[in-house]
């Protein structure tokens, strides 16, 4: 019986002990080495902290050390939340305030940096470089103690009040997703994936656990290479990477610089994207330039339903101005499209929009330390009348096309997708309002130009606001366009008229 | 040279580029900045930057950026 994602690692360590499981710019690690290092770390963690299901914050670079830390944390009966060492200190602290980790894993490289802003925190700091090498550490006892409802990770997405929301993902959620992924996608022990996604973003769930399950290999492309796409492409070519699951903006960037005309990627057989809408123009560029491309997959899903809940394997040609459909439900995932009155829209009602709702084993247990938000988003399935079944409201609007495929129509509220990140405009507003000089603020999104726009009132320069925001929120959330207004337009409810602002400033040019 | 610093300052006003030995190593420019920078340069100097020239060595200093513009056929 499979109760933990660690059984993937146990099985692959048995079947492919000497095969490289993960590599980064400098190092590689085999399945058996990974298991040994992770189990040693687990015993070390257990010596330092007591109990199970403790939240463990991972403060490590995006390389093999993070993978060892994730697995070690799971073997110890606890769960992980990765963060980015490039985040401003305030962002890491806000995650710590929300998560209240008992333990933080660092290494020689990151320890000092962490202590600079968090020395006063009441956490057990474990330097994974100081773990005592033990002979043949035992893992059975550790594995046997794990239930499939134990969390694997908590990932934070930005919340509307400025407080991040932690989504709790359990072992059975990941197992359910990975079972689908390895059956629907051509992943085998010959696959070499190229990881682009940060580890705190759930594309990495597939990257890591599909690798462990199938005995594939995951190449961690150094994050800095994505600023210089030619470097990333060279890395892919030299390391024989043949499977790319990235956010669309990473693909778009390579296409816009026309890198593939000069660096041919002969070995890439699959490209897959999700997290935001993939523009067909750049997809067609990739199609033209990959001679051995066999599969293109467009995937969609909220973190709350574990990575993805719909998929579309591209089976026809699209013109540059068309959009790709979301496709259909992943196996063992239930989807409903509900209109404003809670009525179910069926595929015969072509073009009728409704909110996409998800139920099934992929559904997470809810939000960390936030029952109110959990109850708001995880409701009772209205079509299940005789017992309680949980259903998640995605807040995404969709409709069926004439082929019966689901098509994405937009966000129901003000949450936006920008560069693959999910951002609540409210969080940006909350951060900007923290500046004393700002009296009124409204964040908006120019989906055409892909720019976050900030409207504000107050005697302060654009530069000063930027400087201020860069210290409190990650750069990908910092607006790029600013409009200083004498007064804001309001609607009848006395709320800022966002629609009017958008019409007057964003849509007009 | 001044022109380049002006472009960089507009891009990331929070940094003092004149004090940096290496913009890339110092973390002054990320992937979004590189994209904006390339399109600004292409527009301003009427050149087309080859994607293969978008490497750290060509963006690490104002001198390097000037050399890149000249290499791409622009006058500065």
Top-confidence residue, A323 or A180: A180
pLDDT given at position B65: 95
Write the CB contacts of A139 (distance below 8 Å, at least 6 apart in sequence).
A6, A10, A35, A39, A42, A75
CA dist list (Å): A134 to A36, A44, A131, B24, B29: 9, 10, 9, 41, 43
Structural domain spans, chain B: 2-71
Query: In the structure, what pLDDT confidence band is assigned to residue A478 with cuts at 50, 70 and 90?
Result: very high
- Residues A413/A416/A417/A419 CA torsion (nearest 10 deg): 180
Average pLDDT for residues A89-94, to the nearest whole number?
88
Average pLDDT for residues A472-495, to the nearest whole number?
81
Query: In the structure, what pLDDT confidence band is assigned to residue A353 with cuts at 50, 70 and 90?
Result: confident
- Which of B31, B51, B59 is closest, CB to CB, to A226? B31
Closest CA in chain B for residue A466: B14
Residue A492 has pLDDT above 60, yes or no: no
- Which of A259, A419, A476 is closest, CB to CB, to B51? A259
Phi and psi torsions of A272, nearest 5°: -145, 140
A253 touching B, CB under 8 A? yes
Closest CA in chain B for residue A230: B52
Average pLDDT for residues A244-254, to the nearest whole number?
89
CA atoms in the 13 A half-sphere facing the CB of B36:
15
Question: Cβ separation of A475 and B30 shorter than 8 Å?
Answer: yes
Q: Which of A273-277, A430-434, A481-485 is the most confident on average? A: A481-485
A475 touching B, CB under 8 A? yes
When the pLDDT of each residue in chain A is averaged and rounded to a whole number, the result is 92
**End-to-end CA separation in angstroms for chain A:** 59
> Taking CA A89 as the corner, what is the angle to CA A84 and CA A90, rounded to the nearest 5 degrees?
110
Dist CA A68 CA A27 (whole Å): 13
Handedness of CA A115, A119, A121, A124 (dihedral sign): positive
Top-confidence residue, A426 or B57: B57
Top-confidence residue, A439 or A115: A115
Min Cα–Cα distance to chain B from A228, Å: 5
Chain B residues closer than 8 Å to A228 by CB: 34, 54-56, 59
Dist CA A290 CA A401 (whole Å): 29
pLDDT given at position A449: 85
What ipTM was predicted for this assembly?
0.83
Domains annotated for chain A, with CATH where assigned, are 1-168 (3.40.50.12780), 221-361+368-413 (3.40.50.12780), 421-507 (3.30.300.30)
Cβ-based contacts under 8 A for chains A and B = 48
Residue A211 has pLDDT above 80, yes or no: yes
* CATH T-level topology, domain B2-71: 1.10.1200
Chain B residues closer than 8 Å to A476 by CB: 32
pLDDT given at position A276: 78
Chain B residues closer than 8 Å to A259 by CB: 51-52
- Which of A258, A470, A476 is closest, CB to CB, to B14? A470
Dist CA A41 CA A178 (whole Å): 25
Asked if A229 and A33 touch (Cβ cutoff 8 Å), the reply is no
Dist CA A413 CA A422 (whole Å): 12
Asked if A374 and A366 touch (Cβ cutoff 8 Å), the reply is yes
Average pLDDT for residues A310-320, to the nearest whole number?
94
Dist CA B40 CA B52 (whole Å): 17
Top-confidence residue, A322 or A151: A151
Closest CA in chain B for residue A232: B55
Residue A136 has pLDDT above 90, yes or no: no
pLDDT digits (tens, 9 = 90+) for A10-52: 999 999 999 999 999 999 999 999 999 999 999 999 999 999 9
Tally of residues, chain B: 76
Q: Using alpha carbons, select from A233, A235, A244 the residue that is nearest to residue A195.
A: A244
Share of chain A above pLDDT 70, in %: 97
Is the full-model pTM beyond 0.95? no
The SS3 assignment for A144 reads helix
């Amino acid at each position: 019986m499979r109760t933990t994602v660690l059984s993937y690692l146990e099985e692959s360590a048995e079947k492919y002990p000497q095969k490289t499981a993960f590599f980064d710019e400098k190092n590689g690690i085999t399945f058996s080495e990974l298991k040994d290092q992770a189990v040693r770390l687990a015993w070390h963690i257990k010596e330092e902290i007591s109990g199970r299901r403790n939240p463990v914050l991972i403060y490590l670079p995006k390389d093999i050390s993070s993978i060892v830390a994730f697995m070690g944390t799971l073997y110890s009966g606890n769960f992980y939340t990765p963060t980015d060492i490039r985040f401003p200190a305030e962002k890491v602290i806000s995650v710590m305030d929300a998560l209240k980790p008992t333990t933080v894993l660092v290494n020689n490289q990151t320890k000092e940096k962490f202590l600079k802003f968090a020395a006063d925190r009441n956490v057990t700091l474990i330097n994974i470089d100081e773990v005592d090498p033990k002979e043949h550490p035992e893992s059975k006892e550790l594995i046997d103690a794990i239930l499939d409802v134990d969390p694997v990770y908590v990932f934070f997405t930005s919340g509307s009040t400025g407080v991040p929301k932690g989504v709790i993902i359990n072992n059975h959620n990941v197992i359910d997703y990975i079972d689908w992924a390895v059956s629907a996608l051509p992943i085998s022990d010959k696959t070499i994936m190229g990881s682009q996604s940060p580890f705190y973003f759930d594309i990495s769930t597939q990257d890591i656990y599909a690798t462990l399950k199938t005995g594939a290999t995951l190449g961690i492309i150094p994050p800095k290479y994505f600023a210089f796409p030619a470097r990333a492409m060279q890395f892919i070519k030299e390391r024989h990477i043949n499977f790319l699951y990235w956010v669309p903006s990473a693909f778009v960037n390579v296409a816009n610089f026309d890198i593939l005309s000069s660096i041919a990627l002969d070995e890439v057989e699959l490209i897959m994207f999700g997290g935001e809408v993939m523009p067909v123009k750049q997809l067609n560029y990739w199609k033209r330039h990959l001679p051995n491309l066999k599969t293109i997959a467009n995937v969609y899903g909220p973190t709350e339903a574990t990575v993805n809940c719909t998929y579309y394997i591209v089976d026809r040609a699209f013109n540059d101005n068309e959009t790709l459909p979301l496709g259909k439900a992943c196996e063992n995932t239930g989807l409903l499209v509900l209109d404003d009155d809670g009525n179910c829209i069926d595929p015969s009602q072509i073009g009728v929009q409704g909110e996409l709702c998800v139920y099934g084993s992929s559904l997470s247990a809810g939000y960390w330390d936030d029952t109110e938000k959990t109850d708001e988003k995880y409701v009772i399935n209205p079509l299940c009348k005789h017992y309680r079944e949980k259903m998640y409201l995605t807040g995404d609007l969709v409709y069926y096309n004439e082929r019966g495929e689901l098509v994405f129509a937009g966000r129901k509220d003000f949450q936006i997708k920008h560069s693959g990140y999910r951002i609540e405009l409210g969080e940006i507003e909350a951060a900007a309002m923290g500046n004393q000089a700002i009296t009124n603020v409204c964040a908006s999104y120019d989906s055409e130009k892909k720019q976050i726009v900030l409207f504000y009132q107050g005697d302060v320069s654009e530069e000063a606001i930027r400087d201020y925001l860069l210290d409190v929120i990650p750069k990908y959330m910092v607006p790029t366009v600013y409009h200083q207004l004498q007064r804001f337009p309001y609607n009848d409810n006395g709320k800022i008229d966002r629609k009017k602002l958008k019409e007057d400033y964003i849509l007009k040019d | 040279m001044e022109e380049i610093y002006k472009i960089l300052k507009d891009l990331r006003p929070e940094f003092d580029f004149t004090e940096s030995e290496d913009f890339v190593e110092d973390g002054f420019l990320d992937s979004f900045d590189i994209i904006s920078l390339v399109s600004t340069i292409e527009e301003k100097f009427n050149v087309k930057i080859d994607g293969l020239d978008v490497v750290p060595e060509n963006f690490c200093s104002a001198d390097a950026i000037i050399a890149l513009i000249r290499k791409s056929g622009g006058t500065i």
